[in-house]
């Protein structure tokens, strides 16, 4: 078997695919390719002729791939990593991270595990990044609403900025609600009363 | 004590029983809390079930048999203690191909044999002119959809292995592939056929129920070990499913069921679309509708009782589909996947199925579970 297995990543998400590719290259895998175009999958896979295919579990194209492997004589027949039950823990881990792999028979097991572990790690990194980005976006949006509500209170009740803020925070604490919820209510009331 | 059960499903109308078991309180009454997890592919459903991320799954009946036998991408023994539905699929042709069939017949296609014979003439013409073969989209390699298309093609004397090609297409992409011309026909469940008709991309030529009376479509699948390790919970689940099946089958509940399934966390479609399929009345082309009382059935006859003869039929179809010779040991292994003993123990059933032929093909060879070879020979002889 080849020293450098060729790895194909099938993922619709460009950013995630880039993160995985980088990770694999850093780990010394030179032959890493990526497909996002789903049309004519078989022809593209046949051209690349990979030893291991990594696919995102959210992709409905997994079912398409499975049939291709079943009937096609164009590609070497990769089998799902799930055929071998001996390493169920790492398979579960991969599935929970959202990744699955198909491996051409004959590839050394430790090598496959190394590649898969790397992909799982990178999938997790990506999920964390997406979460952080989402949190940052929400925080920014919340701050904007709070600023606007403060302005509304200042104008309506002739309060200072500090007083408006204290009033909102006290209301939030009394009602056991989040500050941003109170701010949203103020903004909404203002729009309706306009 | 309430027991949690995690169940994977694909957003399709035939996931009605697990969804209703949860939503209508049938599971709760049995002391079960059902967590439903929506999935995007049958491969995910299979893998998450066999590796214990799910306790149970909504599954294509042929996939449960194939996985147990190790045909395809995994070999893990599964158990099927409950059938979820019979039929509910259609064969749809791309607009241009449908028009050609219509021209040959002189009227819109109705009888499945006539429409298949017309298709045969089109295929012959194309062979002479050197045009590429017709490709059919099906939802999975091991699916009753693929089986139904093969049966329909054979009615017209078409060889499903040499005269046409098959391609797996996930249901949400089916209409787009028809429109692009990558496939010219497909077999899929609702709402995807109706979507093709509404958008003018295709027309329905055959209802699955016009090919077979009660071919098993989706089933409840478990890991085989679960049946022994956790039989009490499984019995409760089967009783909840039985109550849900009765409720789903009752036409008086169809409007409620349509709204339930249409919700964003389940199918995320218009309730009307779901209701049409439940009532079995679909627009088949731009101007005509067709009705079939048995278009989609959740209960009645022997739909829920997991008849091992049906598993033998599935094995015969899988093997002939792969052009393999039948093997009696494999057929017995397939039959053992369907578990009427578990169904009977859970529900107190002691009746045996009435039907002599558990599949009820409307054309072609009668299915005799005791003589698979004769069936397979008759199939391939055409």
Q: Go through A63-75 and write b for each residue having 16 or more CB atoms within 10 A of its CB, e for each that does not.
A: bbbbbbbeeeeeb
> Residue B239 — very low, low, confident or very high, per pLDDT cuts 50/70/90?
very high
> Residue A83 — very low, low, confident or very high, per pLDDT cuts 50/70/90?
very low
Q: How much is the average pLDDT of B53-63?
A: 97
Q: On the CB side of B241, how many CA atoms lie within 13 Å of its CA?
A: 31
> Residue A77 — very low, low, confident or very high, per pLDDT cuts 50/70/90?
low
Residue in B with minimal Cα distance to A58: B40
Minimum-distance CB partner of B47 among A68, A71, A82: A82
Minimum-distance CB partner of B140 among A58, A63, A85: A63
Q: Which residues of A touch B42 (CB under 8 A)?
A: 63
Q: Is B230 on the interface with A (CB under 8 A)?
A: no
Q: Is B173 on the interface with A (CB under 8 A)?
A: yes
Whether the per-residue pLDDT at B2 is higher than 90: the answer is no
Helix (H) or strand (E) holding B161: none
DSSP structural state of residue A178? -
- d(CA A10, CA A98) in angstroms, rounded, equals 13
Q: Is B41 on the interface with A (CB under 8 A)?
A: yes
User: Which of B11, B45, B51, B67 would you mutate first to test chain A, the one with the most A CBs within 10 A?
Assistant: B51
What pLDDT score does A1 carry? 43
Contact A82 B51 (CB under 8 A): yes
Q: How much is the average pLDDT of A72-79?
A: 59
Are the C-beta atoms of residues B199 and B71 closer than 8 Å to each other?
A: no
Q: What is the pLDDT of residues A134-180, one digit of tens each?
A: 888 999 999 999 999 999 999 999 999 999 999 999 999 999 999 99
Which residue did the predictor score with more confidence, A105 or B31? B31
Are the C-beta atoms of residues B46 and B75 closer than 8 Å to each other?
A: no
User: Which of A58, A67, A97 would you mutate first to test chain B, the one with the most B CBs within 10 A?
Assistant: A67
User: Which of B10, B47, B183 would you mutate first to test chain A, the one with the most A CBs within 10 A?
Assistant: B47
What pLDDT score does B357 carry? 87
Q: How much is the average pLDDT of B217-242?
A: 96
Q: How much is the average pLDDT of B340-353?
A: 92
Q: Which residues pair with B8 in a beta bridge?
A: B37, B57
Q: Is A99 on the interface with B (CB under 8 A)?
A: no
CA-to-CA dists, residue B98 to A55, A181, B73, B201, angstroms: 36, 56, 35, 10
What pLDDT score does A75 carry? 59
Return the beta strands (E) in A87-130 as ranges: 99-104
Contact A59 B43 (CB under 8 A): no
Q: What is the pLDDT of residues B165-201, one digit of tens each?
A: 999 998 988 999 999 999 999 999 998 999 999 999 9
Contact A60 B168 (CB under 8 A): no
Q: Is B344 on the interface with A (CB under 8 A)?
A: no
What pLDDT score does B97 carry? 97
C-alpha radius of gyration, chain B, whole number: 20
Place of tokens 């003869």: B309
How many inter-chain contacts (A to B, CB under 8 Å) are there?
75
Q: What angle (nearest 5°) sits at the alpha carbon of residue B34, between those of residues B70 and B4?
A: 90
Crossing angle (nearest 10°) for helices B308-321 and B328-335: 130
CA-to-CA dists, residue A89 to A86, B48, B73, B74, B286, angstroms: 9, 12, 19, 16, 53
Give the pTM: 0.86
Complex confidence, ipTM: 0.84
Q: What is the pLDDT of residues A29-55, one digit of tens each?
A: 888 988 876 667 777 888 888 888 888
Percent of chain B with pLDDT over 90: 85
Whether the per-residue pLDDT at B380 is higher than 50: the answer is yes
Whether the per-residue pLDDT at B1 is higher than 70: the answer is no
Percent of chain A with pLDDT over 90: 25
- d(CA B360, CA B105) in angstroms, rounded, equals 27
Whether the per-residue pLDDT at B307 is higher than 80: the answer is yes
Contact B141 A83 (CB under 8 A): no
What pLDDT score does A72 carry? 61
CA-to-CA dists, residue A132 to A139, B116, B365, angstroms: 10, 56, 61
Whether residue A101 has a cis bond before it, omega within 30° of 0: no
Q: Is A85 on the interface with B (CB under 8 A)?
A: yes
Q: Is B51 on the interface with A (CB under 8 A)?
A: yes
What pLDDT score does A16 carry? 86
Dihedral (C-alpha) A69, A74, A77, A80: value to the nearest 10 degrees?
-40
Q: Which residues of A touch B51 (CB under 8 A)?
A: 82, 88, 91-92, 95
Q: How much is the average pLDDT of B39-67?
A: 94
What pLDDT score does A78 carry? 58
Return mean pLDDT, chain B. Answer: 94
Q: What is the pLDDT of residues B84-142, one digit of tens each?
A: 999 999 999 999 999 999 999 999 999 999 999 999 999 999 999 999 999 999 999 89
Minimum-distance CB partner of B43 among A66, A88, A96: A66
Are the C-beta atoms of residues A61 and A10 closer than 8 Å to each other?
A: yes
What pLDDT score does A53 carry? 87
What pLDDT score does A41 carry? 76
Which residue did the predictor score with more confidence, A100 or B62? B62
Q: What is the pLDDT of residues B251-279, one digit of tens each?
A: 999 999 999 999 999 999 899 989 999 99
Sign of the torsion formed by the C-alpha atoms of B282, B169, B134 and B85: negative
């Amino acid at each position: 078997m080849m020293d450098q297995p060729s790895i194909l990543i099938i993922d619709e998400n460009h950013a995630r695919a880039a993160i995985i590719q980088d990770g694999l290259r850093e780990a010394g895998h030179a032959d890493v390719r990526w497909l996002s175009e789903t049309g004519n999958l078989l022809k593209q896979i046949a051209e690349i002729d990979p030893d291991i295919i990594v696919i995102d579990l959210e992709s409905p194209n997994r079912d398409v791939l499975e049939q291709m492997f079943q009937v096609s004589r164009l590609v070497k027949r990769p089998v799902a990593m799930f055929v071998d039950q001996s390493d169920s823990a790492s398979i579960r881990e991969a599935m929970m991270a959202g990744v699955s792999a198909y491996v051409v028979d004959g590839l050394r097991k430790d090598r496959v595990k190394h590649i898969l572990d790397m992909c799982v790690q990178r999938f997790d990194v990506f999920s964390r990044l997406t979460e952080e980005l989402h949190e940052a976006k929400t925080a920014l949006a919340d701050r904007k609403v709070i600023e606007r509500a403060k302005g509304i209170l200042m104008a309506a009740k002739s309060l200072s900025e500090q007083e408006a803020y204290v009033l909102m925070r006290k209301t939030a604490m009394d009602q056991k609600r989040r500050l941003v919820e109170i701010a949203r209510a103020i903004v909404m009331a203002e729009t309706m009363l306009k | 004590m309430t027991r949690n059960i995690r169940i994977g499903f694909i957003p399709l109308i035939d996931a009605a029983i697990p969804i209703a078991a949860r939503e209508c309180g049938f599971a709760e009454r049995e002391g079960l809390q059902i967590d439903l997890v929506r999935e995007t592919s049958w491969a995910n459903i299979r893998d998450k079930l066999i590796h214990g991320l799910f306790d149970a799954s909504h599954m294509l009946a042929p996939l449960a048999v194939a996985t147990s036998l190790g045909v395809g991408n995994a070999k893990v023994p599964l158990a099927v203690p409950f059938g979820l539905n019979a039929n509910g699929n259609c064969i749809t042709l791309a607009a241009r191909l449908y028009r050609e069939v219509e021209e040959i017949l002189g009227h819109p296609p109705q009888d499945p044999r006539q429409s298949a014979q017309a298709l045969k003439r089109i295929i012959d013409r194309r062979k002479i002119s050197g045009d590429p073969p017709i490709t059919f989209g099906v939802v999975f390699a091991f699916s009753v959809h693929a089986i139904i298309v093969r049966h329909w093609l054979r009615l017209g004397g078409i060889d499903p292995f040499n005269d046409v090609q098959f391609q797996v297409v996930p249901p949400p992409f089916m209409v787009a592939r028809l429109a692009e011309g990558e496939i010219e026909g497909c077999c899929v469940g609702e709402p995807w056929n109706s979507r093709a008709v509404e958008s003018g991309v295709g027309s329905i030529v055959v209802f699955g129920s016009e090919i077979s009376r009660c071919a098993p479509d989706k089933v409840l699948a478990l890991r085989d070990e679960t049946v022994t390790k956790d039989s009490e919970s499984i019995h409760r689940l089967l009783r909840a499913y039985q109550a849900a099946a009765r409720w789903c089958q009752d036409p008086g509940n169809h409007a409620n069921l349509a709204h339930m399934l249409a919700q964003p966390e389940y199918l995320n479609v218009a309730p009307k679309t779901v209701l049409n399929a439940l009532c079995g009345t679909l627009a088949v082309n731009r101007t005509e509708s067709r009705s079939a009382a048995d278009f989609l059935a959740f209960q009645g006859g022997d739909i829920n009782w997991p008849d091992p003869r049906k598993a033998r039929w599935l094995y015969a179809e899988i093997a002939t589909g792969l052009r393999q010779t039948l093997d009696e040991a494999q057929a017995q292994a397939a039959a053992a996947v369907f578990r009427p003993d578990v169904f009977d123990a859970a529900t107190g059933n002691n009746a045996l199925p009435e039907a002599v032929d558990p599949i009820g093909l409307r054309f072609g060879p009668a299915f005799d579970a005791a003589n698979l070879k004769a069936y397979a020979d008759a199939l391939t002889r055409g």
